């Protein structure tokens, strides 16, 4: 499973309605994140959560990407929570390194 698939499963289990908002750009062979840093938007009563999904080894890079983004202030002003989900295997099981509320 990809990091995005793992996060979708987890967020659904936590009661969120989820949507992948990262888009594949054919021809350019690149992925484009919503607002430059969001792979998944998850909502439930009174809450909107933006998630960047990656592997364990790229969590720090993704945190820097978010904090350096020109769009993070607008997302924060909209009262969205922002998380980075870093996934890796430990003893043949998927484990999550969750960096909570970068907003």
Instruction: Write out pLDDT tens, residues 78-98.
Output: 999 999 999 999 899 999 988
Helix (H) or strand (E) holding 84: strand 81-90
Per residue in 31-51, pLDDT (tens digit) is 999 999 999 999 999 999 999
Domains and their CATH numbers in the chain: 3-99 (3.40.1350)
**What token pair was written down for 77?**
């002003």
Q: How far is CA 2 from the centre of its chain?
A: 12
**What token pair was written down for 25?**
């750009």
Please give the share of the chain, as a percent, with pLDDT higher than 90: 86
Please give the residue that has the higher pLDDT: either 97 or 66. Answer: 66
pLDDT at 98: 83
């Amino acid at each position: 499973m990809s990091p995005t698939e793992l996060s979708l499963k987890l967020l659904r289990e936590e009661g969120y309605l989820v949507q992948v908002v990262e888009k594949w750009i054919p021809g350019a062979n690149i992925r484009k994140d919503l607002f430059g840093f969001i792979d998944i938007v998850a909502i439930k009563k009174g809450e909107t959560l933006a998630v960047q999904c990656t592997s364990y080894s790229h969590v720090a890079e993704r945190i820097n990407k978010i904090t350096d983004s020109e769009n993070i202030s607008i997302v924060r002003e909209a009262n969205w929570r922002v998380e980075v989900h870093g996934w890796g295997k430990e003893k043949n099981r998927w484990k999550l390194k969750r960096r909570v509320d970068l907003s």
